[in-house]
């Protein structure tokens, strides 16, 4: 870590649904920069007065930036942390972006027991989470990794089941899929690089406690 790196606190934010709320929370805690928005063409957005740098990354990449120290801290969903399995500190549950990871099947294939789905195919963006879930249940399945339109897989016969992240479940209903198991609940988390956490402890801890106060205040309402 260079002297220049030590001078700044670098914060990674994910593109997508978590960005706006994450940026607002950080701004309320006093961490902001002019031009910070999800669609910015700038790769690094800096507030020289506060000595804070922001980088905006693809969701799945964010834990990697934090693990390797390109960012000191970041905000990312618990689902991504479980799937990517990066070596980072998880500092705080920010309690927003609530969604759930579920197993879903076409209505006609709904069964009473998870064991009844043995040897079927599962389409998912989260192969590690899916594999761990079925392994823990002692059920053997074939997992197919997809990057989008997971609900399409059962419709066209690519897979009998899907493991996916849902908020309201509306998309599942529109495609005549039903939840058969809840795998994991996920919310946004504040994470830190292990070296940065030690070298920049005071700054990271100050930010963490500011965010913790906000979260506790929200929960108390």
In whole angstroms, give the CA distance from residue 17 to residue 6: 30
Contact predicate 44/4, CB 8 Å: no
CA distances from 148 to 55, 197, 214 (A): 24, 35, 34
Contact predicate 153/123, CB 8 Å: yes
Question: Which token pair is 47?
Answer: 């507030």
In whole angstroms, give the CA distance from residue 120 to residue 141: 5
Confidence (pLDDT) at 75: 98
Confidence (pLDDT) at 220: 65
Domains observed in the chain? 3-97+187-220 (3.40.190.10), 99-185 (3.40.190.10)
In whole angstroms, give the CA distance from residue 139 to residue 16: 33
Distance of CA 78 to the CA centre of its chain: 5
CA distances from 163 to 12, 20, 157 (A): 27, 26, 15
Confidence (pLDDT) at 124: 97
Dihedral, CA atoms, 39, 4, 210, 190, nearest 10 degrees?
60
Per-residue pLDDT of the chain (221 residues; tens, 9 = 90+): 665 678 999 999 999 999 999 999 999 999 999 999 988 888 899 999 999 999 999 999 999 999 999 999 999 999 999 999 999 999 999 999 999 999 999 999 999 899 999 999 999 999 999 999 999 999 999 999 999 889 999 999 999 999 999 988 898 999 999 999 999 999 999 999 999 999 999 999 999 999 999 999 877 66
Question: Which token pair is 79?
Answer: 């689902």
Contact predicate 77/101, CB 8 Å: no
Confidence (pLDDT) at 168: 87
Confidence (pLDDT) at 217: 86
In whole angstroms, give the CA distance from residue 197 to residue 91: 10
Judging by beta carbons within 10 Å of its beta carbon (0-12, 13-18, 19+), is residue 138 exposed, middle or buried? exposed
In whole angstroms, give the CA distance from residue 145 to residue 50: 42
How many Cβ atoms sit within 10 Å of the Cβ of residue 175?
17
CA distances from 190 to 125, 177, 215 (A): 22, 33, 12
């Amino acid at each position: 870590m260079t002297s220049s790196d030590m001078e700044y606190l670098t914060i990674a934010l994910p593109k997508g649904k978590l960005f706006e709320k994450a940026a607002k929370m950080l701004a309320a805690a006093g961490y902001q920069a002019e031009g910070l928005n999800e669609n910015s063409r700038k790769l690094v957005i800096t507030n020289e007065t506060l000595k804070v740098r922001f980088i905006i990354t693809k969701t799945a990449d964010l834990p990697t930036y934090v693990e390797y120290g390109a960012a000191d801290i970041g905000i990312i969903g618990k689902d991504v942390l479980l799937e990517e399995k990066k070596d980072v500190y998880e500092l705080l549950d920010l309690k927003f972006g609530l969604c759930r990871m579920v197993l879903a099947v076409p209505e006609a294939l709904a069964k009473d027991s998870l064991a009844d789905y043995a040897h079927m195919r599962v389409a998912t963006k989260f192969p590690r989470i899916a594999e761990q879930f079925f392994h823990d249940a002692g059920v053997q399945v074939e997992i197919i990794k997809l990057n989008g339109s997971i609900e399409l897989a059962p419709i066209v016969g690519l897979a009998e089941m899907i493991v996916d992240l849902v908020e309201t479940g509306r998309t599942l209903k529109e495609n005549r899929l039903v939840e058969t198991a809840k795998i994991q609940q996920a919310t946004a988390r504040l994470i830190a690089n292990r070296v940065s956490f030690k070298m920049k402890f005071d700054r990271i801890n100050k930010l963490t406690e500011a965010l913790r106060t906000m979260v506790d205040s929200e929960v108390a309402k």
